[in-house]
Amino acid sequence: MNPGALPLEDIIEPAAIGLFPLAWGWWASAAVAVAVVAAMTWLFIRWHRHRAMLTLTLPLLDQAKNDYAENEDSTRYCQSLNKTLKRYLKACDENSQLSLSGEEWTAYLNRINPRATLSGKTINALAHGSYRREPELAIELIDSELRQWLKRTTPERVRKGVSNTGRKAPHV
């Protein structure tokens, strides 16, 4: 049989699949990858901002503790703690209620971060220690609780807490 006599036509092969345009699955994967990178970048920036503020704030607590160890002046120590906390809150949000004092101040701190609770001794030291001498101040307890409060209270939590308090100026 003669192959040229058969009524067959040449097979036309399809064009090779190119790399572009990509299939929809690749586009979806790229979008997910971009979203993950953006989320990780955002979380890293938040974490870094909080760590930077802690790097500046925690040495102030150390300095207050060292000053207390030298002079044992409880009013000065409590004033220094309140000043440090107010500086931290002001750095986090300019609209923080920094003019508060006493029980209102400690209630404000608890409203900002209700999960990072402070003990009665710490609350008493922050509320009343600046105005009267405390003969037996639990320095280690106060220091560790304030460090934990600062570590758990991110700038975003402060902004959220400040906005939840209504940004009303207290009656002074």
Give a yes or no: residue 159 inside a domain: yes
Give a yes or no: residue 104 inside a domain: yes
pTM for this structure?
0.74
Give a yes or no: residue 85 inside a domain: yes
DSSP assignments along 28-57, one per residue:
HHHHHHHHHHHHHHHHHHHHHHHHHHHHHH
Q: How many domains does the chain have?
A: 1
Give a yes or no: residue 84 inside a domain: yes
Give a yes or no: residue 162 inside a domain: yes
Give a yes or no: residue 119 inside a domain: yes
Q: Structure tokens of 60? A: 């102030």
C-beta of residue 30 within 8 angstroms of C-beta of residue 54: no
Sequential pLDDT tens for the chain (172 residues): 676 677 778 888 888 877 777 788 989 999 999 999 999 999 999 999 999 999 999 999 999 999 999 988 889 999 999 999 999 999 988 888 888 888 998 899 988 888 888 888 889 899 988 888 876 788 899 999 999 999 999 888 888 877 776 545 444 4
Give a yes or no: residue 53 inside a domain: no
Q: Which helix (H) or strand (E) holds 77?
A: helix 74-92
**Residue 134 structural domain:** 73-167
Give a yes or no: residue 158 inside a domain: yes
